[in-house]
Amino acid sequence: MNLIILGPPGAGKGTQAQSLERDRGFIQLSTGDMLRAAVGEGTEVGQKAKAIMDRGELVPDDVMVQIISDKLDEIGDQQFILDGFPRTQGQAEALDTLLAQKKKALSFVIELKIDDAILVERVVGRFTCGNCGEGYHDTFKLPAQEGKCDRCGGTEFKRRSDDNEEAMRARLVAYHGLTAPLIDYYAGKAILKSVDGAAAFDAVTGQIAAILDEN
């Protein structure tokens, strides 16, 4: 079974994909994480992507399609969940071609539905443990003991450079203009499943589990 998780920035795609990876053996393929790793390593792609990401705009399709094509080869036959890809009609069509060439198929596209009003507040203020990746938030979820990760005890925390209000507004514009039309694209292929992304984390996980179990 192979999935796409689709939704605006801050909808919880990454945390739901991580939970599916932990509980159900999917490989999470997050293009945002791949780009941030490239930025951290200072590769050519990373150097070009950094400014685009900080502005909240999209990295060109040809770069993203190449990254995903290489990743799909790397993971072999393992089941995957695409998180943050595709983000444009061009990427979605290129993905169809890649999957056909590599003899793979999509089972479902899971859309996390959520209003913009909630998203800015969710994203501005979030941070993660630099060691285990556990997610936190200045308002909604501070570590129980200040400065110490609840999960692993780590003391280094990270904030994304694009989790500020200005970049977030641009990311929402990119989402509504370029990515949201993919909802119709996948509805047309009859593989779209929508869940309430504004619900509590466990409730969203439960809705996704129900979709996977009944199909």
Residues that bind ligand AMP (CB under 6 A): 9, 31-32, 35, 52-53, 56-59, 64, 84-85, 87, 91, 162, 171
Tell me how far, at minimum, the Cβ of 91 lies from ligand AMP, in Å: 6
Distance between CA atoms of residues 166 and 73, nearest Å: 36
Catalytic residue among 50, 87, 122, 193: 87
Q: Which residues of 99-110 are buried (b: 16+ CB within 10 A; e: fewer)?
A: eeeeeeebebbb
Among 13, 36, 50, 122, the active-site one is: 13
151 is catalytic: no
**122 labelled catalytic:** no
Question: Residue 3: left if φ>0, alpha if ψ -120 to 50, beta else—which one?
Answer: beta
Angstrom distance (rounded) from CA 24 to CA 37: 25
CA dist., res. 193 & res. 5, Å (int): 10
CB of 187 to ligand AMP, least distance (A): 20
Given the complex with ligand AMP, which of 134 and 162 has the nearer CB atom?
A: 162
Known catalytic residue: 126? yes
Residues 6+ apart with CB under 8 A from 121: 139
104 catalytic residue (yes or no): no
Is 160 a catalytic site residue?
Answer: yes
Nearer to ligand AMP among residue 64 and residue 114 (C-beta): 64
Residue nearest to ligand AMP (CB): 32
Cβ-based nearer residue to ligand AMP, 132 or 210: 132
Provide the 8-state DSSP code for 151. Answer: T
Q: In the chain, what's the furthest Cα-to-Cα distance? A: 50
Least Å from the CB of residue 167 to ligand AMP: 8
State the catalytic residue, choosing from 55, 104, 141, 160: 160
**Residue nearer to ligand AMP on the CB measure, 80 or 85:** 85
Q: How far is the CB of 170 from ligand AMP (least distance, A)?
A: 8
Q: What angle do CA 194, 196, 199 make, to 5 degrees?
A: 155
Active site residues: 13, 87, 126, 160, 171
